A and B are shown apart, each in its own frame.
Chain A
Amino acid sequence: MAREVRCKTVEEPSLVALAKTHAATPSFKNKTASGSHLSNVHLCISSSCFLSGAGQDVGRSCILVSIGGKNIMLDCGMHMGFNDDRRFPDFSYITQQGRLTEFLDCVIISHFHLDHCGALPYMSEMVGYDGPIYMTHPTKAICPILLEDFRKITVDKKGETNFFTSQMIKDCMKKVVPLNLHQTVQVDDELEIKAYYAGHVLGAAMVQIKVGSESVVYTGDYNMTPDRHLGAAWIDKCRPDILISESTYATTIRDSKRCRERDFLKKVHETVERGGKVLIPVFALGRAQELCILLETFWERMNMKAPIYFSTGLTEKANHYYKLFITWTNQKIRKTFVQRNMFEFKHIKAFDRSYADNPGPMVVFATPGMLHAGQSLQIFKKWAGNEKNMIIMPGYCVQGTIGHKILNGQKKLEMENRQTLEVKLQVEYMSFSAHADAKGIMQLIRMAEPRNMLLVHGEAKKMEFLKDKIEQEFTINCFMPANGETTTVITNPSVPVDISLNLLKREMALGGPLPDPKKPRTMHGTLIMKDNSLRLVTPEQALKELGLNEHQLRFTCRVQLQDPHSDPDTLSRIYTHLKSVLKGYTIQHLPDGTVMVESIVIKVSSSAEEPNTKVLLLSWSYQDEDLGSFLSTLLKKGLPSGLSSM
């Protein structure tokens, strides 16, 4: 069972028994949909331990969340470093056989990068899933193109089989439901999701998943500083139970964007000046557009002549997407797009394979970004031997890719057919990929105020560092599950109660206007559980509704006291004494020979035989139990001698 929660219902009027929640063993085998409001949330990082998911690795993202009886898959990424089964998440974790549809309530894709959506057609068409897949409009538009691109490289060029087909990509996309920013989408009666702007790439979104009062926010990849074409991620103070954040740059606090840009331009400029060629491996969409804008303006300003090329026919199409989805770019571009569309480049031209052998300097953007296949790899092979040339890696490279190897300083690469390639060209790494750095992650935590934090999509050591920092600064739990590990977080959801306006008005009449956020108010009412709902009403209304009479519990306590005064004097002395001890209470000395403290009655009597031994009678009802008990103990101690009897 996914949860250990009970909401006991006995015959009406029924008892309210709210059991404490327990940590539960995770399981996706039971899709329990219970109406109960107490539960816990647990997260499973996909795939068993020998395979990597989104845990402490930057390979691919696929997270399963179970919240309030709902199971949600967050991202369905592919590992670019593997060429075998290991590139896809291990869905057998969810079910050994059969389709996933009955185990998942929905799938949400945060953005179009293949490490976040690359396994989607495999999951939906080859493993089998027919439920809704949510993604934003730009993601829905661009994701199938990248998938098809990738499929072509894998199947057509490398000749792999057992891979998804074009038709499967199309069928998969038919299951996609587009998400708009901030729109609250009701997946079913209980489960709702909401997308927030994440920056990172066009159409990237963070998602909030909510069931009852429990919620989880998944960031996908995001960046907290606006760049040349995208804005900064933003989320409201939604106080999720768990914030699942990527942590690619967990330890880096990157220097200012401007410095990095200047550095980049300087390096490109120097290489071009000395007649070298610059290769910039990129993904067709995303960072590429930002760097294009950067170079375009630089070329314009410096009046540069060296050609800039962009490989693959995707360029124009890609830029067109940016033009049509301009509302997803940053403020500046949006404001000026009518006058000047930033995605219409003058200096950047389409690349032809033959150009690579042209003499003289040039700058080439080529896909893919990690040098694991395709055009960028081909050009790299051609240019690697010349120390005049330069390769600039503007993003992260997954382990196992050539990009990763050369970034680690490897000078001799083993290629196919046992050939070795000598790397003589200059290798530069410039982090342009728009991930949040440590500062940005902390900033997001401050924005959303989560109760628990979960770090994924990063490297273990770096995450450890960040985890300590988060726990110190925010005193919240921070988890960093390994691949295949399940994290269970116990939530403490509140229970919705309907309060009768009569009661509320009465309480308001008693003590000034509500609401004063700083001062809580004590109020008294009766809680009724009926028809699976809780209602708080006035005691009278409750009794009337249930046809019950109130049962009064009253105490009368005799306290003996030695006090050599007349009975009325003793009473006066008690009055004075209580007045001085009990500040802020209503104490009255009534003419009928009683003292009233709130509703507690105090009388004095004595027998004729022993006039100095007074018997005090204290009488109170159970509602005043605390005060009554206090008073009897107080008076037992006797009256101080210095009291006047007024």
Chain B
Amino acid sequence: MKLYCLSGHPTLPCNVLKFKSTTIMLDCGLDTTSVLQFLPLPLVHSPRLSKLPGWVSKDGTINLEKELKECAGRVFVDSQPEFCLPEKELLDLSTIDVILISNYHCMMALPYITEHTGFTGTVYATEPTLQIGRLLMEELVNFMERVPKAQSATCWKYKEIQRLLPGPLKDAVEVSTWKRCYSMQDVNSALSKVQLVGYSQKVELFGAVQVTPLSSGYSLGSSNWIIQSHYEKVSYVSGSSLLTTHPQPMDQSSLKNSDVLILTGLTQMPTANPDGMLGDFCSNLAMTIRAGGNVLVPCYSSGVIYDLLECLYQFIENANLGSTPFYFISPVANSSLEFSQIFAEWLCHNKQSKVYLPEPPFPHAELIQTNKLKHYPSIHGDFSSEFRQPCVVFTGHPSLRFGDVVHFMELWGKSSLNTIIFTEPDFSYLDALAPYQPLAMKCVYCPIDTRLNFHQVSKLLKEVQPLHVVCPEQYTQPPPAQSHRSDLMLELQPPPMPYRRCSVLGLPFRRRWERIQLLPEVGPVATHLSDISILLSLVHHSAVLKNQPPIVQVLPLKKMRGSAVFFLSLPSQHGITEVKVEETTDGHILHLQAEDTLIQLEEDGTHIVCDDNEPLRTALRDLVLRFLMKL
């Protein structure tokens, strides 16, 4: 059993497990932090960005004016933003049998894996994961295609050139794998390979392995996976949460008794308490609005935004913000809000019971109904005419490199009345803001990451007791910025097996047994321990044992003493008249004189020497067998 690690990003994993001749990919996260190296894509022509000077090395030997621009003291790539893909060279992607998706954030690289690689397998995901994942991909494609950029920068990626570039470009990793965004066609084709699963559904793979998604409590439809055979169990824990937010609570008990637990997707903000951050978010928002400023919240179109809206729903009345307009701008804003209301089965109990009334599970339905929250596909069209200030705008992309957020940065960045509140933990907010400096706007950093923290995970591991833990190497040491915090790492006995990008780990397994089915026609097998010859065959993907007549029995014997007596009592039935018994050191020799037949009885063997008298031989054979069985 081997684990191939194709991504080094701890929260956007992509691992491949080879287990019992099946090849299973666990998630395919897309590392989008690479886009921070690129210039923002403005929706409206921006004189500032178009006038940036090109970059030429100090000695003038390297001239990349067209590809690199200097902006606010840093160098950015002037090209369509590119993403850092999972490693494609470590193993042949066409050999992958199935891909298990744990949540919609961890599937963004799917089209790169399933399209144009020869992949012929199946992708398993829950319905919310598929639907919301589709929305996020659609949004990403839309953001890119809305502002087409003809040029594609490639020269700077050459190793000899890259090492001469100023930081942080110089230190960007795996730049050769960076790719532009996929097309909608690729998305549709990739998602057509998804087969839907429900929590606790047992999915059989080729009769060899069973995989089961479990609720992970992190987002709508998010799951952890159990990969098991009759004797081995691997748990794959991806983004999980023990906090009470909108999704169904995490199923912890089913993770028990794993041989190996692969642990990924812990919180990226181990020191930030999500509840505290939510409080900060609300108070900063209220403060800015009261002062007449606007609030910009760069965010993904699904996930924490539902909780933010729910929190605001309770907050705005008390804070007297009832008349402040809230805008949610995204090509998929409407879909995201609508979809969130139809997945009752995947929600926490509280929200589930609302549907029985019947009422929509999320209160943003009411915000929309009362016109407090409005959603638009983009800043163009209706929004530009209906838009009132001061207001709160939720929009993407959280990297501030593309999407409608770029426009608001240009629009509001110059005024100190306005505030930008970062809630998504995926991007460093300083890096995100770099191309907009100098900035007068206030910046508040309230990252809300509900995933497990180190304290919760060690408690969880104590409870579920896996024999071995595999995790990204980042979790085996404190974060670089807080190297003294030994509580911000995993300390386990035996120590966790760390992996990094391109690692291949042999998992500590000793398989000894395999489960097969004995068909009823084989029985009654025998009395005593039976030695059998059987037909091993595959029926409906599972190995079965069929009868192979005759059943042959090997006979274990402990003692042969007294055997002669037994024999002497019986032969008369077969017309045997004269038996001479001779005692030897190991047993007896019986001589049937009329038949000229010898039976040599010893502790570890019986030897029958006779003429070609088949009836007699078989009679003696059965006699011996019967006798042996009586022992």
Whether A517 and B529, one on each chain, are in contact in the complex, defined by CB atoms closer than 8 angstroms, is no
Residue A507 at the chain B interface, CB threshold 8 Å: yes
**Given A185-B200, A543-B556, A555-B621, do A17 and B534 touch, yes or no (CB 8 Å)?**
no
A226 is an interface residue with CB less than 8 A from chain B: no
Q: Mark B598-625, 1 if CB is under 8 A from A, else 0.
A: 0000011111111110100110010011
Whether B614 lies near A524 (C-beta < 8 A) is: no
Q: Which residues of B contact A360 (CB under 8 A)?
A: none
Chain A residues with Cβ below 8 Å from B361 are: 324
Of A293-301, A452-460, A489-497, which binds chain B? Answer: A489-497
Inter-chain contact B528/A15, CB cutoff 8 Å: yes
Question: Which of B201, B338, B514, B532 is the one whose CB lies under 8 Å from A337?
Answer: B338
Contact: A527 with B529, CB < 8 Å?
yes
Q: Is the CB of B518 within 8 A of A553?
A: no
In the bound complex, CA of A470 to CA of B518 (Å): 29
Whether A182 sits at the interface, judged by CB under 8 Å, is yes
A629 beta carbon closer than 8 Å to chain B: yes
Which residue of chain A has the shortest Cβ distance to B545 in the bound complex? A497
> Which of A347-355, A604-612, A618-626 contacts its partner?
A618-626
Contact with B529, one of A38, A507, A526 (Cβ below 8 angstroms): A526
Query: With an 8 A cutoff between CB atoms, is A546 at the interface?
Result: yes
A338 touches B334 (CB 8 A): yes
Chain A residues lying within 8 Å of B523, measured Cβ to Cβ, are 16, 18, 495
Q: Which residues on the A side are within 8 Å of B529 (C-beta)?
A: 13, 15, 526-529, 542, 546
Interface string of B319-352 (1 = CB under 8 A from A): 0000000000000001100110111110000001
B479 interface contact, C-beta 8 A: no
Name A492's contact: one of B197, B356, B520, B621 (CB within 8 Å). Answer: B520
Instruction: List A contacts of B625 (CB < 8 A).
Output: 553
Residue A321 CB within 8 A of the other chain: yes
Q: At the interface, yes or no: B550 with Cβ under 8 Å from chain A?
A: yes
B342→A521 contact, CB < 8 A: no
User: Which B residues touch A556, using CB under 8 A?
Assistant: 607-610
Question: Could you give, for residues 517-542 of chain B, a 1 whenever the CB lies within 8 Å of some chain A CB and a 0 otherwise?
Answer: 11110011111111111111110100
Partner of A550, one of B335, B516, B517, B554: B554
Q: Is A594 an interface residue (CB 8 A)?
A: no
In the bound complex, do residue A141 and residue B356 qualify as a contact, i.e. CB atoms below 8 Å apart?
yes
Chain B CB within 8 A of A23 CB: no
CB distance from A292 to the nearest CB of B (A): 17
With A180-B198, A183-B198 in contact, do A507 and B536 touch (Cβ < 8 Å)? Answer: yes
With beta carbons under 8 angstroms apart, the residue of B230, B512, B535 that contacts A522 is B535
Q: How far is the CB of A53 from chain B (nearest CB, A)?
A: 29
CB proximity of A403 to chain B, nearest CB, Å = 29
Candidates B512, B525, B606, B612; contact of A558 at CB < 8 Å: B612
By beta carbon, the residue of chain A nearest B549 is A626
Map CB proximity to B onto A238-257 as digits: 1 under 8 Å, 0 otherwise: 01000000000000000000
User: Within the assembled complex, what's the spacing in Å between the Cα atoms of A44 and B554?
Assistant: 46
**What is the minimal beta-carbon distance from A267 to any residue of chain B, in angstroms?**
33
Question: Which among B335, B355, B555 is the interface contact of A553 at CB below 8 angstroms?
Answer: B555
Cβ of B464 to closest chain A Cβ, rounded Å: 18
Closest residue on chain B to residue A519 by CB atoms: B537
Q: Is B158 an interface residue (CB 8 A)?
A: no
Assess the B342–A555 pair: CB atoms within 8 A.
no
* Beta-carbon contacts under 8 Å, A595-646 to B: 622-623, 625-626, 629, 632-633, 636
Within 8 A of B (CB), among A1-34: 13, 15-19
A534 touches B200 (CB 8 A): no
The A492-509 residues at the B interface (CB cut-off 8 A) are 492-502, 504, 507
Give the shortest distance, in Å, between A207 (CB) and chain B (any CB). Answer: 14
- Is there a chain A Cβ closer than 8 Å to B576's Cβ? no
Min Cβ gap B203→A in Å is 9
Chain A CB within 10 Å — which of B200, B361, B515, B550 has the most?
B200
Verify B343–A554 contact, CB threshold 8 A: no
* B628 at interface by CB-CB < 8 Å: yes
Contact B335 A338 (CB under 8 A): yes
Q: Which residues of B contact A501 (CB under 8 A)?
A: 511-514
A521–B341 contact, CB under 8 A? no
| Bound-state Cα–Cα, A553 to B600, Å | 10
The answer on a CB contact under 8 Å between B550 and A626 is yes
Are B514 and A181 in touch, CB under 8 angstroms?
Answer: no
Q: A235: CB under 8 A from chain B?
A: no
Q: B543 contacts A515, CB within 8 Å?
A: yes
Q: How far is B72's CA from A522's CA once the two chains are assembled, in angstroms?
A: 76
Take A324-B355, A337-B338 as given contacts and tell me if A520 and B546 are in contact as well, using a CB distance cutoff of 8 Å: yes
Are B557 and A549 in contact, CB atoms less than 8 angstroms apart? yes
Residue pair B536, A17 in contact (C-beta under 8 Å): no
> Does B548 interact with chain A (Cβ within 8 Å)?
yes
Interface of B, secondary structure class, is: mixed
* Binary flags per residue of A130-151, CB closer than 8 Å to B gives 1, else 0: 0000000100110000000000
Inter-subunit contact A527/B512 (CB<8 Å): no
Please tell me if B202 contacts chain A, counting CB pairs below 8 Å.
yes
Q: Which residues of B contact A553 (CB under 8 A)?
A: 555, 605-606, 608, 621, 624-625, 628
- On chain B, the number of residues with a Cβ less than 8 Å from chain A's Cβ atoms is 81
A492–B540 alpha-carbon span in the complex (Å): 16
B614 lies within 8 A of A629 (CB): yes
With both beta carbons as reference points, the residue of chain A lying nearest to B248 in the complex is identified as A180
Partner of B518, one of A326, A497, A526, A626: A497
When the two chains form their complex, are residues A622 and B552 in contact, meaning their CB atoms are under 8 A apart?
A: yes
Tell whether A566 is near chain B: CB-to-CB under 8 Å. Answer: no
User: What's the least CB distance linking B362 to chain A, in Å?
Assistant: 11
Task: Find residues 178-209 in chain B having any chain A CB closer than 8 Å to their own CB.
Answer: 196-202
Residue of A nearest to B521 (CB): A492
In the complex the two chains form, is A497's CB within 8 Å of B515's CB?
Answer: yes
Q: Which chain A positions have C-beta within 8 A of B554?
A: 526, 539, 550-551, 622-623
A559 within 8 A of B: yes
Are A522 and B524 also in contact (CB < 8 A) when A338-B334, A548-B556 are?
no
B47 contacts the other chain (Cβ, under 8 Å)?
no
Cross-chain contact B516 with A549 (CB below 8 angstroms): no
**B127 interface residue (CB < 8 Å to A):** yes
Q: Which residues of B contact A517 (CB under 8 A)?
A: 537-538
Of the candidates B200, B339, B537, B545, the one whose C-beta lies within 8 Å of that of A183 is B200
Say whether A488 faces chain B, with CB atoms less than 8 Å apart: no
**B148 interfacial contact with A, CB 8 Å:** no
Alpha-carbon gap, A337 to B337, bound state (A): 12
Residues of the A chain whose Cβ atoms lie less than 8 Å from the Cβ of B538: 515-517
| A182 contact set on B, CB distance < 8 A | 196-198, 201
Are B517 and A546 in contact, with the CB atoms below 8 A? no
CB distance B358 to A141 under 8 Å? yes
Residues of A within 8 A of B603 (CB): 549, 551
B303 within 8 A of A: no
Contact indicator A324/B513 (Cβ below 8 Å): no
Q: Which of B197, B525, B540, B543 contacts A16 (CB 8 A)?
A: B525
Chain A residue at minimum C-beta to C-beta distance from B541: A517
Q: How many Å from the CB of B497 to the closest CB on chain A?
A: 23
Asked whether A524 lies within 8 Å of B339 as measured between CB atoms, the reply is: no
Is A514 in contact with chain B by the CB < 8 A criterion? Answer: yes
Contact A559 B612 (CB under 8 A): yes
Q: Are B524 and A551 in contact (CB under 8 A)?
A: no
Alpha-carbon distance A394/B524, docked complex (angstroms): 56
Please judge, given known A-B contacts A18-B523, A38-B520, A552-B605, whether A525 and B610 are in contact too, CB under 8 Å: no
**Which one of A325, A326, A526, A625 contacts B530 once the chains associate, using CB atoms below 8 Å?**
A526
Q: Which of B355, B525, B614 contacts A527 (CB 8 A)?
A: B525
A560 located at the interface, meaning its Cβ lies under 8 Å from any Cβ of chain B in the complex: yes
Q: Does A327 contact B (CB under 8 A)?
A: yes
- Among B485-518, those with CB < 8 Å from A are 511-518
User: Can you give 8 contacting A-B residue pairs, CB < 8 Å?
Assistant: A140-B356, A237-B540, A324-B355, A327-B343, A536-B532, A555-B607, A623-B552, A629-B618
The 10 nearest A-B residue pairs measured at CB: A18-B523, A520-B537, A552-B605, A548-B556, A494-B517, A551-B557, A520-B535, A517-B538, A182-B198, A495-B518
* Known A19-B524, A499-B513; 10 more pairs at CB < 8 Å: A15-B529, A180-B345, A182-B196, A326-B342, A493-B520, A498-B514, A499-B514, A552-B604, A553-B605, A558-B612
